[in-house]
Structure 1
Amino acid sequence: MQQADEHHGGVGSAYLGNLVYGGLDGIITTFAVVSGVVGAELNASIILILGLANLLGDGFSMATGAYLSSKSEKEFYERERAREAWEVENFPDGERAELLELYLKQGYPPEDAAQMLAIKTRDPQRWVDAMMVEELGLLKETRNPLWEALTTFGAFCLAGAIPLLAYLADWIFALGLPQDTTFFTALGLSALALFGLGAAKVLVTERNFWRSGLEMLVVGGLAAGVAYGVGFLLKGLGV
């Protein structure tokens, strides 16, 4: 008998979203900084200062946000689970009636609903798990908040450094490249990285490879264009 192919992620796949979206945010925000400075016609040292400050500051901010968000979700789940466990222990008849009604509302025949109820309520832990899913629509979060923060920060910094590579190389090796050359090199590298990470989103969203990549390329281009325009306007105002 032939079985359907199933593809399940390993441990690392649980943090794939943090890697992809952290990387995308890193590229977009850093290249926006680069574009704004170039639009204002400031020198390359300003690009490095603001770019690196953005890289570490925003990266840390995103990592902190990911950590606190994940931690809050876990705490909320545990609080609700404790409440459901208390209700199961102290008001079992009411909880049985509630779970049965939920199964009936889902379209199960009364006989099947009663059988499912009997199976779920045999074990208190399984019973509480069923109430969490059926009544509250909550699934237990298995990801570690610290790992979410670290993967977000790492992806943001690594991908966000791409728009700065040409400027870093010019500074470290004293290449003396014209600003137009470094900017267009940064533009090309950022475009390739944006498309690649946008396409990599399909591993999370399961959408079309090309469409996902082009969407992120357009979004990143718009963000850079806005930043360039702001820098150009500020330059015109004498800033």
Structure 2
Amino acid sequence: MSEAAHALEHLDHSLREHGSRGQHLADAVLGATDGIVTTFAVVAGAAGASLSPGVVLIMGFANLVADGFSMAVSNYLGARSQQDAWSEERKREIWEVEHLPEAEREEIRRIYRRKGFTGEILERIVATITEDEQRWVEEMMREELGIHEERITPLASGAVTFVAFILAGFLPLLFYVLNFFGISLPFGAFTMSLGVTMAALFGVGAARSFMTLRPWWRSGLEILIVGGLAAACAFVVGVLLRQLAG
């Protein structure tokens, strides 16, 4: 294998690994954020309606499992749709490489000419890429269509989302569980839940900065504000419904 070909394969491997880790992180952050926000919204609404801790636990866990499952399935189906679309595009590129090789070779040449390569160096790049069909197809997918192979499986995407949703979504219920088992708390269950939830929202938001490249504190504050507003709305609705119900 030539040095240029080895470099291209190393780059392709790095892109795949980075994409896989990035997708796992995105699924985890999405699941954790939704888990915390939706579960605490249920807790806040129940607290606003002055429902008993037992009712809060029933509603909270029912929401936690049902919403977590629903979100995991949605993410699984979305990832599978992306994977299917990628597979169809790849089949089309394979057909074009096999049946229209000169046109596809010229396309590679145009792509790298636009990047500033000319003369012998350009021809060596074209020859290196097109000497291997798999490399050729993947280069066309990436450079011509802007499509990168999704290395994460749909099942893994759904599983990561579900686990993150359940683990993070349990936090708003933690102190209600402790209270249920008779463990004394320095403050009320709702107050403790509020504090932990706000801290968790900020932490999950800060983790988003690894994907968005924005300042961690800004990402943290954004999620904190959104989650806080959702909880406030749920609390107000709970209060209003309690008053209407007499």
Tell me, yes or no, whether TM beats 0.5: yes
| 8 Å CA contact retained: 2:27, 2:160 | yes
| 8 Å CA contact retained: 2:204, 2:220 | yes
- Tell me which residue corresponds to 2:9: none
- Tell me which residue corresponds to 2:142: 133
Asked if residue 165 in structure 1 is aligned to residue 144 in structure 2, the reply is no
The number of equivalent residue pairs is 230
Gapped regions of structure 2 (runs ≥ 5): 1-16
| 8 Å CA contact retained: 2:19, 2:150 | no
Q: Normalized per residue, which structure has more helix? A: 2
Q: 1:102 to 1:10 in 2, by over 3 A?
A: closer
User: TM-score w.r.t. structure 1 length?
Assistant: 0.85
The offset of 1:174, in angstroms, is 7.5
| CA–CA distance in structure 2, aligned partners of residues 11 and 67 of structure 1 | 15
Q: 2:215 aligns with which of 197, 208, 211?
A: 208
| CA–CA distance in structure 2, aligned partners of residues 157 and 197 of structure 1 | 14
Alpha-carbon deviations, 1:57-89, whole Å to 9, x = none? 110011111211222212211111111101110
Q: 1:104 to 1:37 in 2, by over 3 A?
A: same
Alpha-carbon deviations, 1:217-238, whole Å to 9, x = none? 1111111111112222222332
What residue identity is the alignment partner of 1:156?
Answer: F
The offset of 1:107, in angstroms, is 4.3
- Tell me which residue corresponds to 2:232: 225
The offset of 1:111, in angstroms, is 5.1
Q: CA RMSD in A?
A: 2.6
Comparing 68-77 and 10-19, the one that deviates more: 10-19
Gapped regions of structure 1 (runs ≥ 5): 1-7
Alpha-carbon deviations, 1:13-40, whole Å to 9, x = none? 6522222221111111100111111222
| 8 Å CA contact retained: 1:35, 1:227 | yes
What residue identity is the alignment partner of 1:77?
Answer: W
| CA–CA distance in structure 1, aligned partners of residues 91 and 19 of structure 2 | 29
Asked if residue 68 in structure 1 is aligned to residue 70 in structure 2, the reply is no
Alpha-carbon deviations, 1:150-173, whole Å to 9, x = none? 111111111101111111112222
Q: 2:93 aligns with which of 84, 109, 126?
A: 84
The offset of 1:188, in angstroms, is 0.8
Q: 2:53 aligns with which of 20, 44, 58?
A: 44
| CA–CA distance in structure 1, aligned partners of residues 140 and 203 of structure 2 | 41
The offset of 1:100, in angstroms, is 2.3
User: TM-score w.r.t. structure 2 length?
Assistant: 0.83
The offset of 1:149, in angstroms, is 1.4
Asked if residue 99 in structure 1 is aligned to residue 108 in structure 2, the reply is yes
Q: 1:172 to 1:213 in 2, by over 3 A?
A: same
Comparing 14-23 and 162-171, the one that deviates more: 14-23
SS at match of 1:74: helix
Q: 1:142 aligns with which of 151, 160, 166?
A: 151
| 8 Å CA contact retained: 1:44, 1:167 | yes
Q: 2:192 aligns with which of 185, 207, 226?
A: 185
| CA–CA distance in structure 1, aligned partners of residues 98 and 69 of structure 2 | 43
SS at match of 1:96: helix
| CA–CA distance in structure 2, aligned partners of residues 103 and 193 of structure 1 | 46
SS at match of 1:139: coil
Comparing 196-205 and 221-230, the one that deviates more: 196-205
